[in-house]
Amino acid sequence: MTYCIAVSVDEGLVLVSDSRTNAGIDSVSTYGKMHVFATTPDRKLVLLSAGNLATTQAVVEQLRRDKRENTPVNLNSVSYLSDAADYLGKISVDKQKRYKEDEGQCSFNPSATFIIAGQIGKEAHGAYMVYAEGNSITTSRQTPYLQIGESKYGKPVLDRFIKMSTHLDEAGRCCLISMDSTIRSNASVGPPVELLIYRKDRYSIDEYYCFDADDEYLLTIKRCWHEELSKAFMTLPHYDRKFAIPLRDGL
Q: What is the CATH number of the domain that holds 163?
A: 3.60.20.10
Per-residue pLDDT tens digits for 87-104: 999 999 999 988 776 655
Give a yes or no: residue 247 inside a domain. Answer: no
251 within a domain of the structure (yes/no):
no
- CA gap 65, 205 in Å, rounded: 21
189 in any annotated domain: yes
> Mean pLDDT over residues 34-56, rounded?
94
What pLDDT, on a 0 to 100 scale, did the predictor assign at position 242?
84
Domain membership of residue 196 (yes or no) is: yes
* pLDDT tops 70 at residue 107: no
Q: Is residue 248 part of a domain?
A: no
Selection from 18-22, 57-61, 108-112, 243-247 with the highest mean pLDDT: 57-61
Range of the domain at 122: 3-234
- Structure confidence at residue 26 (pLDDT): 46
Give yes or no for residue 28 having a pLDDT over 60. no
Q: What pLDDT score was predicted for residue 24?
A: 46
Answer yes or no: is 240 within a domain: no
The answer as to whether 239 is a domain residue is no
Residue 27 in domain: yes
Average pLDDT over the chain, rounded to an integer: 91
Residue 59 has pLDDT above 60, yes or no: yes
Question: Number of folded domains in the chain?
Answer: 1
CA distance 251 to 170: 48
HEC string for the chain: CCEEEEEEECCEEEEEECCEEEECCCCEEECCCEEEECCCCCEEEEEEEEECHHHHHHHHHHHHHHHHCCCCCCCCCCCCHHHHHHHHHHHHHHHHHHHHHHHCCCCCCCCEEEEEEEEECCCCCEEEEECCCCCEEECCCCCCEEEEECCCCCHHHHHHHCCCCCCHHHHHHHHHHHHHHHHHHCCCCCCCEEEEEEECCCCCCCEEEEECCCCHHHHHHHHHHHHHHHHHHHCCCCCCHHHCCCCCCCC
Span of 35-39, 73-77, 104-108, 211-215 with lowest mean pLDDT: 104-108
Asked whether the predicted pLDDT for residue 23 surpasses 70, the reply is no
pLDDT at 5: 98
